[in-house]
Structure 1
């Protein structure tokens, strides 16, 4: 054959899939990640400050942010805004009530800003 290798093409036969067939692991994917910890942040607002202003912060100092009182707050998971919420008080502790879930399209648009 003068040192050349000849590749032969062969047909492949697959077994028939039954009507109830599932791919391996189907139905258990969520169970395997339910205990994964994620960082959830409720973002009350943002502001930009100079280092000298940050160094002057003491108890009682008021820092203005870009949100108004009563305005919805952002719920951020692992750096991505996923929902909007309102701040509520439950048993004398602050909590949030989810009011809107951010769509996948909105999340992508916010990441591009």
Structure 2
């Protein structure tokens, strides 16, 4: 059995922060494991998360309106959103902003082409 503390599935936010490298290290840093050993363990640590399902959402745009305005929306209503046409769209993972993308069509289905990641360390992990 491992000496490492169990992973709390309800508290994974720190794995998606800009300090992703230290999150991957976990308790190893406190146990004074050499950096080279930590680097070798990265694939093993990442493998722990490979089967966790996440929801990937492409958000076109949004707007905040009052409930009164929403109640008055009819079939011919037009609601102006906060993005310009042609602007990159927000990619969210489990509701957290992950990067931006553009919509493309692949085999008659919508797809997205990632333009950039908000977290460079996470981007480096997937390359």
TM range, normalised to the smaller chain?
0.5 to 0.7
Distance 1:37 1:47 in 2: 28
| C-alpha displacement of 1:68 | 1.1
Q: Does 1:68 align with 2:84?
A: yes
- 4+ aligned runs moved over 3 Å, structure 1: 56-62
- 2:47 is paired with a residue whose SS is helix
Q: Which structure: larger Rg?
A: 1
Match of 1:29 in 2: 45
Residue 35 of structure 1: SS of its match in structure 2? coil
Residue-by-residue CA offset, 1:25-63 (whole Å, 9 max, x unaligned): 924222221110112221111211111222234556432
Question: Partners in 1 of 2:66 and 2:50 — Cα distance?
Answer: 41
Residue of structure 2 in register with 1:56 after alignment: 72
Unaligned regions of 5+ residues in structure 2, if any? 1-35, 122-127
Distance in structure 1 (CA, Å) of the matches to 2:87 and 2:76: 23
Greater helix content: 2
TM-score, with structure 1 as normaliser: 0.59
Distance 1:90 1:56, change over 3 A: farther
> Partners of 1:57 and 1:68 in 2: how far apart?
22
Higher relative contact order (CA 8 A, sep 6+): 2
Instruction: Quote the Cα distance in structure 2 between the aligned partners of 1:104 and 1:91.
Output: 30
Of 80, 104, 112 in structure 2, the residue corresponding to residue 88 of structure 1 is 104
Gaps of 5+ in 1: 1-20, 106-113
